[in-house]
């Protein structure tokens, strides 16, 4: 199963890539066309980050009535 799974970038790696994209966009050597391409890449990476954050939020623990932590998906 390990070889079939595609390695996803971590949030930290994606944030680093976003910083690099922003730096490239701010460069005076980048053409307007390249800026649009970088912008599209940045938007895709932001969407990826939002999906990862949503997935983490769904796994967060919540306090039940007895003051104990339990997984979010077990609460009805």
| pLDDT digit string, tens, across residues 23-75 | 999 999 999 999 999 999 999 999 999 998 888 777 766 656 666 766 666 54
Find how far residue 37's CA is from the centre of its chain: 19
Report pLDDT for 19.
Answer: 96
Burial class (CB in 10 A: 0-12, 13-18, 19+), 68: exposed
Q: What is the pLDDT of residue 15?
A: 93
User: How many angstroms separate the CA atoms of 57 and 42, rounded?
Assistant: 22
């Amino acid at each position: 199963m390990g070889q079939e799974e595609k390695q996803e970038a971590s949030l930290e790696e994606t944030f680093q890539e976003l910083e690099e994209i922003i730096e490239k966009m701010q460069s005076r050597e980048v053409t307007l066309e390249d800026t649009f391409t970088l912008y599209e890449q940045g938007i895709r990476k932001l969407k990826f980050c939002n999906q990862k954050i949503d997935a983490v939020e769904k796994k967060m623990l919540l306090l039940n009535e007895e003051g104990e932590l339990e997984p979010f998906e077990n609460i009805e």
